[in-house]
Amino acid sequence: MSAIDTRARLLDAGLDLLSQDGLSGLSLGRVANAAGLSKSGLFAHVRSKDQLEIALLEAGTELARRTVLVPALQAAPGLTRLRVLIELWLGWSVRAGLHGGCPVAAALFELDDRPGPVREHVALLEQRWRGLLAGLTREAVELGDLRQDLDIDQFVWELCGIYLSHHVASRFLRDPTATTRAKRAVDALLGRAGAPDVQLTETRA
């Protein structure tokens, strides 16, 4: 097996552990064992726990990109694309094959008071995502799908709040109504933003 294949196996195994146990439950030994590697074999690809965590968070971001962003960009620009992205975003990790929740969402809570390079990286990932949401929202405004006077930053702030509330309700509280309630909240937010009253299709938490 090539070094590229071994690294891919390492990231796949580590990402699934990260989605289930979070950063606090991650260790070099557990990831090496899950990937079928020795610790020395793992150190051929990452040199520290921080480096491993950042690599896994990047792998999670790439998986989310393929699962959420790429198919959303196939939809018509404007409100249609924004709606598709939101629908795919809710509960994306399960549909992507992970056995736990969104690694970045969990890291936002785990690292809020823990300074260091991993926190800085998660902050960068979150800023990039919010920037992407703002760009898609601005596109919908420019196409006349949403109000011209919409406060885009406030819209994205509320949208991210809905996502994080859905994450907590579905992953931590195991609330079977989490997705239904999130959809209602998204519809209400879009309605206030001037969108037609068209509901999101059903998604799984």
Residue 141 covered by a domain = yes
Query: Rounded CA gap, 165 and 102, in Å?
Result: 13
Q: Which of 30-34, 101-105, 124-128, 151-155 has the lowest mean pLDDT?
A: 30-34
Backbone phi, psi, residue 54, to 5°: -65, -40
Q: Which pLDDT score, from 0 to 100, does residue 122 have?
A: 97
Residue 138 covered by a domain = yes
Please state the length of the chain: 205
Mean pLDDT of 101-129: 95
The burial class, CB within 10 Å (0-12 / 13-18 / 19+), for 118 is buried
| 168: Cα separation from own chain's centroid | 13
Question: Above pLDDT 70, what percent of the chain?
Answer: 95
Mean pLDDT of 9-29: 91
The domain containing residue 157 runs over which residues? Answer: 49-192
Residue 35 covered by a domain = no
Residue 10 covered by a domain = no
Residue 156 covered by a domain = yes
Question: Above pLDDT 90, what percent of the chain?
Answer: 77
Residue 111 covered by a domain = yes
Instruction: Give the largest Cα separation in the chain, rounded.
Output: 57
Residue 200 covered by a domain = no
pLDDT band at 200 (very low <50, low <70, confident <90, very high): low
Q: Distance from first CA to last CA of the chain, Å, rounded?
A: 36
Q: Own/partner pairs for 173-178, CB < 8 Å, 24+ apart?
A: 175/205, 176/205, 178/205
Higher pLDDT, 25 or 175: 175
The structural domain count of the chain equals 1
Higher pLDDT, 44 or 66: 66
Query: Rounded CA gap, 146 and 193, in Å?
Result: 6
Angle in degrees, CA 77, 135, 144, rounded to 5: 50
pLDDT band at 204 (very low <50, low <70, confident <90, very high): very low
Tell me: pLDDT of 65 over 70: yes
Residue 15 covered by a domain = no
| 95: Cα separation from own chain's centroid | 12
Query: Rounded CA gap, 2 and 125, in Å?
Result: 29
Question: What's the CATH number where 103 sits?
Answer: 1.10.357.10
Query: Rounded CA gap, 175 and 92, in Å?
Result: 17
- Six token digits for residue 91: 């509960």
In tens, the pLDDT along 142-186 reads 999 999 999 999 999 999 999 999 999 999 999 999 999 999 999
Higher pLDDT, 161 or 43: 161
